[in-house]
Structures are given as structure tokens and as C-alpha cells.
A and B are shown apart, each in its own frame.
Chain A
Amino acid sequence: MSDATRGEPLLAVEDLSVVFRTDKERIHAIDDVTFDIQAGETVGLVGESGSGKSVTARSILGLVDEPGRIESGSIYFRGEDLTQVGWEGARGDIAIVFQDPSGSLNPVYTVGNQIREALRMHQGLTGSAARDEAVDLLETVGISDAEKRVNAYPSEFSGGMRQRAVIATALACDPDLLVCDEPTTALDVTIQAQILDVLGDLQREEDLSILFITHDMGVISEVADRVNVMYAGEVVERAPADRLFSDPAHPYTRGLLASIPSVRDSDDQLLTIEGEVPTSNEAPTSCRFASRCPKAFDECTQVHPDHIDLGGGQSAACLLFEDELNSPVTPESGLPGAADAGESARTDGGEE
């Protein structure tokens, strides 16, 4: 799918920057983050701790609190900029599922009560209509014996069932966009597989758009249509999922993928990225990955790289690709040399 054939996106985040101010310093949590989500699409945000993916998610829901503030940029939801008109009108249309299901459910109310409360607030349902709908929602997320379990307390549920209940509560708002922030990280693989199945089914049946945030590349490969890779508060690469994993362009993406052990074979040594993710006190003036990048050269510490279109819906914010911008690229061939862009680097970084 090329950009031209897409309609108006359901959500478009443009140049979003969020800053946390304390007495001592300003911390740039995210800088100029841009991405969009079409109706019925799953878009992934991947990155490590401190990459800004959760702040991005919270911004979309209007959940950034003091001392954090949206400094600049827009969040268009159905064409309206939420940073201007406020989140009130979109409440219920955007729902979020957090990592830890226990923290999202109130232990003193039954699961059914919590879903019914959401139904009352967002859909005006009460009484037996709300109860029936709550049972339906629990069934939708794959909880068997929902008639009985609607009366259970969260503590009577297993971890996987609690996360299903959280998803059911989120669905009670009848959202168009579901933001999933590491929804399966706390779960075992067999339970994770069940939850991913549920989300996939929901998407097909309800035409739901999903923003899926995770650090797990395997999960993102499985669920996402398109992926944004975040590093130190910036999106450094974006691409359709299969393309990202077969032809990662940005040195950070490539380093990240090389550091994951595979379940299929045991390589001799895992490749690593040296150094730590930096915390930024100012807007970027150079590449934030430069100090850790095996391919870095002088300019990397002086120029902030813009996203360079590599064709096929892929782009990377890296100076390695500047040459290709100036050289003729045939649209079909996509990104000539992107796969071995590392080898054409001007300095001999020498991957570990």
C-alpha cells in the first residue's frame, strides 16, 4: 500500500514533543514524533526503556500530567487536533490497555461491576442491559463461563484472564482506537499467544485500529502492519513490518535485531550495542545514537538527521542514507544498498 492510496488517517501524530520540567532541568521525553494509523490497522511502536514509547501513548490519551507538558506538535484524531480542542470529545473513542493488568482493575469491585461502570459512562447502559453486555464482552475476549465469572473479583482471575478483563473494560467504551502498552509483557508465552489471538480477532470483527507498544520484536512482527522504531525520544525508522525485519536500515534497528537470541538456532555470540540510552535535556542537534553507533562519522555529531524516504513505505533518520537521496533511485528497486548500507559507511566502525 503506498501512501497515496491511503485515506485520511484515524490518528495522525505530527511533530509531537513532550518535555518534563523539574526545578533543575528540562527532560525531553519525546521530540518531533510523527506517525499515523489508518482505520483497521495495527501500528507498532518499538523501543527500549527510555525510548519514549509510553510517553507517546499517554500523550495520545491526554494523560501527560505535570511536570510533563506537550511542548509542540499536533495529535489529529479523526481530523481534529486534540492538543487544541481537548480530549473530552474523544473520550471513549480511544482506550488504553496497560502492561500490568492488576494495576488496571480495582480489587474491591467485581469484574462485572467495572465493565458495567464503563458501559454506563460511555454508552449509557444500565441494569440488565449493562449486565448482558458485560457478559458479551467477557465472551468476546475469550473468557469462558462468562455468566459466572462476571461476578468474580479480580483476585479470583489468573493473570491472563485479568488482562482479558482489562481489554473487555477498554472495549466497553466502544473505542475506534485501542492503545496497547506492553499488554502481554507480564504474561507467559502460551497466555500471550491467547491474548494476541483475541486482539487479532477483535480487529477483524470490529474494524478496530490498534497502536501496539512493545519491546518484543517477535510480538511486533506478528501483530503489526507498520512499525515505528523509537530511540531516545525520536522515531528513527519506520517501515512496513515485514520490510523492517528483512531490511532494517537504521544502525540502531539493526543492532537491536542482532542482539535478540533466536529460538530457532543458537548463534555463537550475541551482538551488542555498547553504551546507554542518553537522557536529553535539549532538542536534538545531532544524531542521538551517534555515540553508540558503529557506523558513526564526524557529521553525525554535528547534524541532526531528518527522515530519508527509502521507498516502499520505509524511512530512516540516518545520515548514511543521504547519498541515496541525491542519487537516482528507481522506485521499484526500493533502497539500493540499504541492506549493506553499513558496509558502505565512511568510517570503519566494525560491528562487534
Chain B
Amino acid sequence: MFGRTTDTSGLDETIDNGETLVSIDNLEKYYDAGGLFEDPVKAVDGVSFDIRKGETVGLVGESGCGKTTLGRTTIGLDDATRGSVRSRGVEVTDLAGSDLRRWQQDAQIVFQDPEASLDDRMTVGEIVREPLDGHDQGTPDTRREQVFDLLDRVGLQEEHYYRYPHQFSGGQRQRVGIARALALEPEFLVLDEPTTALDVSVQARIINLLEELQNELDLTYLFIAHDLSVIRHIADRVVVMYLGEIVETGPTADVFEDPTHPYTASLLSAVPVVRTQGETAIERERIRLRGTPPSPRDPPPGCRFATRCPAKIHPDDVELSERAWAVVEEFRVLLRERSRYQESVTETVTRRLGLDTDETIDTIRAEMFDGIDLPDDVRSDVDRASELAATGRAKEASEYLRENLGSVCDKERPSSESVGAERQSRCLRNRAEYDDVAAVLDRREGEET
């Protein structure tokens, strides 16, 4: 990878709107992979999708799902661990030196926090001019003219050239960030939460600006946001990420109206919506997700969403009511999370030697399973797990329950499958043998409580 020159002439090829501009294939980005005893953080773990010229792809997911890392890796700000990013047939993850700079001219990024991403000691003019200087474009005079044009394009005035970022409001600073990103006339922009730090009325103006610029300059966007309504507004297609993986992709309107992955459905149901008088907006009750996302260092072995999934498939050899299943899953989350936090060595040793037992687990279990009728075999499984947890073996307890009460979702990692026109979803329920997600969510909503 060092000093190797790649043929980047392909990057100059013109392509039409709708053709693939950037193709991401099985991209992985791991952190701290050098540690001897610790697993790496799998921030992005095998992600594939295409971005077409002229479109806006929305990338959504909760904090820590890997969306920012994916954005940075795509344009070469971070090195990929494995996998490929290609543009016009050129593998851009391999590029170095001047070749990398050639690609970064085409692919720019706008950051979330306009406050932190602009150097306060430089004037706005210098900030916007910096990429032009760096790439040695034109003469100092033509560069200055270019900066004036750029400022004008993003709705700022010539006189702003000489001011400093701290003299600007958040919205104006974000305009400066956009002007800088546009300086080298890129065709592809990664927009990383560009409006998250802004007030709604300012956000609306920045979104409108981005849409205008896209039309005028024929830009292609990868728009990263956790705000689903912004994505709904701006994105043609949406990519939903959870714990380093893509769980669902498709045209935005289709995915939002009829999500096929339980995570997408949960995410959408969690968005608070302005309700007006007389409006009976909520078709389905809000889905409450159990716990928090697992650590990307230690993702669940089957489906990554299985620990929190509201539509999880139950094992067919165990007969339990929906309510009992809900409590069992809750108990498993508790054990899993318990295995994650550190106990002191003495605590662990004394417990394992049987010199001391942790009684808290019995209290919790009694409360959780209060009023729940369990068949004998399930009860003895729960008993066994409690014993293990009480003697400092939360991890074994968690694994024991996965072995005995886990379903196909805990064991098999689903692959991404086509679920309609341009739509992909990574869920075992897409298979014909299982009920589909919407039906299950509707049914369980009634039965769990």
C-alpha cells in the first residue's frame, strides 16, 4: 500500500445521473485491533451499498452504530480495515499521496459542529481558501475571486471574507463549512449531521441551501443524521445502521411507510410527532426497546438486534405466553449487561469459591417473574442461570440461557435479503416460514401487557 501508484485516470470519467458513483463493498473498520486480550471495536462491520450520481443517501442509526465512521472511511479520512470503496472502477481505499488527494478533491465532508470544525484564528476567507491553496489551484488572485463566489453561493457576503468564525452565528458558521467543502468543486459530499447543532428555523435554511446546491452543482450526498424527519425530507434512499451493520435499505418513502426490519420500525415509532387537535396519529403504540445497544466490542453472536428485538422469533420447542417471553428476554438482557461490568477480583474469587453469594439476583428475579407462570423446565433453566449469576458467573449465566431458551435469532446471523423493489433487509423474519414483522408487532403489542 505504500508508495504504490494506482491508475486514477478513471476518476476523470464522466458518468450520468443515476449511475453508481460510489460503491461500498463489505467495508470494515475496526479500532484497537492491536490489543492482545481485548476484542477490537467493530465500528463498521461488513457494510455494502451503492451511492448513485445525483442522489442523496440518508444514513441513520443511534450514536455508536458506526455511521460517522462509515462516512469518514468512505472518503478516506480513516483507513478501512478490510473491504472496498470504489468510484468509477478505482479502488479508493488503496490510494495514497497525490492519488488520495485526487480522490479527496472529488469527495469532501461537512462536519456536525461548525464551532469545532473551523479554526478560530483564521478568517473566513482563509478557511474557505485553504483547500484551494493546498491543492495549488490558480493564482492567489483567482483563488480570492473563487472564495468570493463560494461565499455568495452559500448565502454569505463578500465582507464576511475578513471576519472570524466567532463573529458568526451557528447557521452562518455551517455555511462557511459548506463553502470550504465546495471549494475544490467536489461531486460527492459526506454531510455528517450538518444541522444537528442548529435551531430548527436555521436548520430549515441550511437544508434548503443544501438542496439548492445539489441541483445547481449536480452534487451527490451521503447525509448522516440521527434525526429521522430530516432524513425523510432530504434523502432519496435510506440506509439504517445498527451496531456496525446495515439492517435495512430502500427508497426513503417506502422504508418510512412500511419498515420491514424491527429496528427500523422501533426507531420510527420512537420519534415524537407533533399531534394536532383531533388527529389520531398513532396507528401503533410506541415500541419500547429493552436496554441499550450492546457493545460493538462484543456484539451478540446471532442477529445483532436480537437482545432488544420486539419481533424476535421464539424457539418452537418452548411454550410460553408473550408476557412470559418478554420477562425472560428482559432477564437475559440484565444478565448480559451484568456480565459487562467489572467486579473486583476479590469479589469474583470469593463468590467463585462459594465463600459469598450475591443475593441481589434472587431479589430481582423474584420481582421480575412475579405473577408469571413458567413451565417446570423453563423455571429450572432460570434457576440455574440465577445460581451462576449469584456466584459471579454472569457471563456463563447469560450463555446458559442463550443455549437453552435462545431461538434461531440468537444463533444465526441473518444475511441481507431483497424484500421488494430496491429494498434490502437483514432479518430472519423475511423467510417465508416466519410471520412478517408488522404482523408480529401488532400481535405482541396486544399480548405483552
- A residues sitting closer than 8 Å to B (CB atoms) are 48-49, 144-145, 147-148, 152, 156, 158-161, 188-194, 196-197, 215-219, 221-222, 242-243, 245-247, 255-257, 259-267, 269-273, 276
Contact = CB atoms under 8 A, between A and B. Distances in A.
Contact of A188 (B199, B226, B273): B226
Given A246-B278, A270-B204, A145 B289 contact: no
Nearest to A150: B360
Contact of A256 (B201, B226, B234, B273): B201
Contacts of B338: 145, 148
16 contacts: A48-B202, A145-B360, A147-B364, A189-B226, A193-B286, A197-B288, A218-B273, A222-B272, A222-B275, A245-B274, A261-B207, A261-B233, A262-B232, A270-B204, A271-B204, A272-B205
B158 interface: no
B208 A270 contact: yes
B130 interface: no
B266 interface: yes
B363 interface: yes
B364 A263 contact: no
B201 A259 contact: yes
A269 B211 contact: yes
Contact of B229 (A194, A219, A261): A261
A152 B344 CA distance: 12
A188 B276 contact: no
B271 A263 contact: yes
Nearest to A273: B201
Given A144-B333, A191-B62, A269-B208, 16 more contacts: A144-B334, A147-B363, A190-B266, A192-B272, A193-B272, A216-B272, A221-B272, A245-B274, A245-B275, A247-B277, A260-B274, A262-B273, A263-B232, A263-B271, A272-B201, A273-B201
Contacts of A256: 200-201
A263 B360 contact: no
B277 A261 contact: no
B169 interface: yes
Contacts of B268: 263
Contacts of A221: 272-275
User: For this complex, into which size category does the number of interface residues on chain B fall?
Assistant: 35 or more
A218 B281 CA distance: 12
Nearest to B359: A147
A10 to B, nearest CB: 25
Contacts of A191: 62, 292
B63 interface: yes
Interface string B198-229: 01111111011001000000000000001011
B267 A161 contact: no
Contacts of A255: 201
B341 interface: yes
B292 A161 contact: yes
A48 B341 contact: no
B272 A259 contact: no
Contacts of B169: 276
A219 to B, nearest CB: 5
Contacts of B232: 261-266
A147 B359 CA distance: 10
B271 A218 contact: yes
A304 B279 CA distance: 35
A261 B268 CA distance: 14
Nearest to B343: A148
Contact of B199 (A49, A147, A190, A218): A49
A160 B229 CA distance: 21
Contacts of B77: none
Nearest to B289: A190
Contacts of A218: 229, 271-274
Contact of A148 (B207, B233, B277, B360): B360
A191 B333 CA distance: 16
Contacts of B277: 242-243, 245-247
Contacts of B201: 48, 255-256, 259, 272-273
Nearest to B363: A147
Nearest to A217: B274
B430 interface: no
B252 interface: yes
B254 interface: no
Given A152-B341, A266-B233, A267-B233, A189 B270 contact: yes
Nearest to A51: B199
A242 B276 contact: yes
B5 to A, nearest CB: 43
Nearest to B335: A145
B272 A219 contact: yes
Given A256-B201, A270-B207, A145 B334 contact: yes
Nearest to A158: B292
Contacts of B200: 48, 215, 217, 256, 259-260
B256 interface: yes
Contact of A159 (B63, B204, B252, B333): B63
A241 to B, nearest CB: 8
B322 interface: no
